[in-house]
């Protein structure tokens, strides 16, 4: 067995693991990344696309913002379409100049992988049978890699291995509490090389269900439809997708919509999920390993980034200043922000989707709530503050 000694073993090379690795590298802290998939697979996963300002700032701090600055699309507002009418929420005006940036998770991941390769940092891609042990005493990670068995001996393990990862699953049951809500519908997403229907995102509340018009660049669009969980991707030809999207849009957007062949099509179930606490001895959970949000509030990737902001500064404080304060406060600080993002994502989902179980009364109340939010400066400010991201 090959023994490797390091300070921090990071499990998972999604945005959370890669960003943590980059920030530790910048601070001169020794670490390795262990990932079960190939780098190509990780970099090509189509997922999130909206970055809060704090996530952009963190990528800048990590020194991986050159492509983001060149190709990211800053957005100062969003549109909400309800009752056949669009209304703009001016994010910047309502939040003293804050905005969000459209930049795909695939691009964030590629930039981070490239920076890691350039710095020649150690990553074990396609590691098999990854196991984490002894994290209440002397943490160990074992795995099989390129025909050999490995054991990593480290001070800390960062569980950045997503919802289905091994880290959360290794915590003894009596030490962990989870909170979960599963929604009775999914999002059918289509990626297509067609110009976006509008310069800003359009969130659509319609009698036929929710839709979202989003984008990844000026020539690549990402559209979503609320669909029943019983639907399969094969049920949805491109033609059927575009027809249904048109039905949910207003006449002006319908007219402007450019359609084309999909380059990716998938159905994602929607879930809210939180793990408490987020630290177990020398094991920290971060990102989707600790929490999941429905994508309606565009918070998944951003929450992963804010966990890493807390975790990286806690580890840097520990190694450079000898202070354990950040480490001891990690879980509590993250969870305060996590629950606020969970609330916002749940609220946006509840407000904008059709639930089969909702009565006509419930539906009217929701419409009245949305109408109030959009007609009130205070209501719009609440939405905008949460959408651009709460401070940390």
Smallest distance, Å, CB 276 to ligand FAD? Answer: 17
346, 272 in Cβ contact below 8 A? yes
26, 121 in Cβ contact below 8 A? no
Q: Would you say 339 or 367 has its CB closer to ligand FAD?
A: 339
Q: Would you say 142 or 369 has its CB closer to ligand FAD?
A: 142
Q: Would you say 301 or 327 has its CB closer to ligand FAD?
A: 301
Q: Would you say 1 or 378 has its CB closer to ligand FAD?
A: 1
Smallest distance, Å, CB 85 to ligand FAD? Answer: 25
Collect all residues with Cβ–Cβ distance below 8 Å to 237 and sequence separation of at least 6: none
Tell me which residues touch ligand FAD (CB under 6 A): 11-17, 34-37, 42, 47-49, 105, 127, 130, 160-162, 164-166, 268, 287-288, 295, 298-301, 304
Smallest distance, Å, CB 214 to ligand FAD? Answer: 8
| Residue 258 in tokens | 């450019």
Q: Would you say 268 or 365 has its CB closer to ligand FAD?
A: 268
Catalytic residues: 75, 203, 295, 299, 387
Smallest distance, Å, CB 25 to ligand FAD? Answer: 17
Residues 177, 171: Cα–Cα separation, whole Å: 10
φ and ψ at residue 265, rounded to 5 degrees: -150, 130
| Residue 249 in tokens | 């849009």
Q: Would you say 35 or 65 has its CB closer to ligand FAD?
A: 35
Collect all residues with Cβ–Cβ distance below 8 Å to 361 and sequence separation of at least 6: none
Concatenated DSSP letters of 16-61: HHHHHHHHHHHTT--EEEE-SS-HHHHHT-----EEEHHHHHHHHH
| Residue 53 in tokens | 């300002």
Give per-residue burial for 242-265: e unless 16+ CB within 10 Å, then b: bebbeebbbeebeeebebeebeeb
Pairing state of beta strands 50-52 and 128-133?
A: unpaired
Residues 75, 60: Cα–Cα separation, whole Å: 18
Smallest distance, Å, CB 33 to ligand FAD? Answer: 9
Smallest distance, Å, CB 371 to ligand FAD? Answer: 26
């Amino acid at each position: 067995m090959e023994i490797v000694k390091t300070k921090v073993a990071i499990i998972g090379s999604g945005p959370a693991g890669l960003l943590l690795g980059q920030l530790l590298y910048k601070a001169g802290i020794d670490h390795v990344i262990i990932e079960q998939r190939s780098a190509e697979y990780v970099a090509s996963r189509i997922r999130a696309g909206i970055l809060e300002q704090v996530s952009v700032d963190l990528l800048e701090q990590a020194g991986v913002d050159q492509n983001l600055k060149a190709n990211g699309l800053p957005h100062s507002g969003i549109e909400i379409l309800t009752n056949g009418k669009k209304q703009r929420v001016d994010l910047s005006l309502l939040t003293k100049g804050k905005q969000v940036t459209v930049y795909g998770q695939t691009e964030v991941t590629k930039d981070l992988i490239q920076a890691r390769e350039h710095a020649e940092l150690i990553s074990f891609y396609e590691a098999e049978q990854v196991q984490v042990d002894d994290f209440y005493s002397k943490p160990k990670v074992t795995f099989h890699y390129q025909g050999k068995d490995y054991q990593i001996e480290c001070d800390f393990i960062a569980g950045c291995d997503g919802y289905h990862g091994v880290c959360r699953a290794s915590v003894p049951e009596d030490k962990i509490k989870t909170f979960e809500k599963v929604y009775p519908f999914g999002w059918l997403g289509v990626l297509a090389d067609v110009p976006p229907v509008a310069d800003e995102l359009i969130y659509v509340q319609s009698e036929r269900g929710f839709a979202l018009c989003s984008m990844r660049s000026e020539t690549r669009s990402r559209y979503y439809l609320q669909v029943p969980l019983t639907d399969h991707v094969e049920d949805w030809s491109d033609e059927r997708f575009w027809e249904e999207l048109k039905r949910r849009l207003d006449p002006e957007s319908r007219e402007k919509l450019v359609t084309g062949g999909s380059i990716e099509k998938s159905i994602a179930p929607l879930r809210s999920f939180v793990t408490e606490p987020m630290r177990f001895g020398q094991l920290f959970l971060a990102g989707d390993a600790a929490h999941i949000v429905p994508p309606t509030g565009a918070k998944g990737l951003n929450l992963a980034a804010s966990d890493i902001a807390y975790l990286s500064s806690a580890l840097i404080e520990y190694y450079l200043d000898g202070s354990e304060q950040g480490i001891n406060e990690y879980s509590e600080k993250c969870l305060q922000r996590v629950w606020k993002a969970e609330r916002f994502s749940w609220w946006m989902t509840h407000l904008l989707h059709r639930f089969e179980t909702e009565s006509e009364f419930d539906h009217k109340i929701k419409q009245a709530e949305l109408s109030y939010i959009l007609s009130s400066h205070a209501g719009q400010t609440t939405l905008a503050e949460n959408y651009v991201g709460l401070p940390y």
